[in-house]
Amino acid sequence: MPGHVVCVYPSENPDCCPVHYFKEYVSKLPESQKCPRLYLAVGTAKQICNDQWYKDVPMGINNIGTHIKTICKEAGLKGFYTNHSLQASNVTNLYNSGVAEQIIQENTGHRLIEALCGYKVTSVEQKKNASKALCMQKLSLTDREPTTDQVQKVQLKISVVLKQ
C-alpha cells in the first residue's frame, strides 16, 4: 500500500526484534536503491557474494507468495499459508492480545475498523473470562457471599449457554 507507514519498536530480545531484522535487511539492499518498494527481488549469486542480496526492482506478488510458503514450511508450520492468511493471523493475535482496534487498523492499513471484524476469532481464554464476568455479576446480585460450589455451578451453566 503506497504511503502506508507502520511504527515498530525494538524488543529487548534480539532474536525477535523487528528493528534488528529491518536493519539487517536494509544493510543488504543495493547502495543506489531507487525502487521505493519494501520487498525487492532476490539478487543473483554474484550480487549475493558481494553482500548485496537484492536487485533494485520490486519483488512480484507471486514471488512473495512462494517465499511465504517456503518460510512457513521451513519453520515447521503445517497447513496452507498465504500472504493474506498471515495478515489474518496477525490481526487475530493482536485482537486476542487486547490491542485496540484502531491500532490494529493503523497497522494493517484497513480503511474501516469494520473490515477487521472478519478476522476476529474469539479465544477460549476470552470465553472463559466472559463466563467468569457473568458469573460474578450474577453472584453480586445476591446479599450473601457465594460458596465455591455455587460459583462452579453458575460457571458451568454459563459455559453450556456460551457453547450453544
For residues 161 and 112, the model is more confident at 112
pLDDT tens by residue, 99-147:
888 888 888 888 888 888 888 877 788 888 888 887 776 555 555 666 7
For the segment 67-77, the average pLDDT, to the nearest whole number, is 84
Q: Cα(40)–Cα(48) distance, rounded to whole angstroms?
A: 13
Distances (CA, A) of 119 to 19, 91, 92, 95, 113: 26, 6, 6, 9, 11
Instruction: Take residue 89 and report the three cell numbers written for it.
Output: 493471523
Largest CA distance in the chain: 79
C-alpha cell at 153: 455451578
Residue 31: pLDDT above 80?
no
Over range 64-90, report the average pLDDT: 82
The pLDDT-based confidence of 10 (bands split at 50, 70, 90) is confident
Predicted local confidence at residue 13, as pLDDT: 85
What DSSP line would sit under the chain, residue for residue? -TT--------SSGGG-HHHHHHHHHHTS-TT-----SSEEEPPHHHHHTT--EEEEEPPHHHHHHHHHHHHHHTT--S---HHHHHHHHHHHHHHTT--HHHHHHHHT-S-GGGGGGG----HHHHHHHHHHHHHHHHHTSSSPPPHHHHHHHHHHHHHHHH-
Q: State percent of the chain over pLDDT 70.
A: 80
Q: Please compute the mean of the pLDDT values over residues 52-79 and round it to a whole number.
A: 81
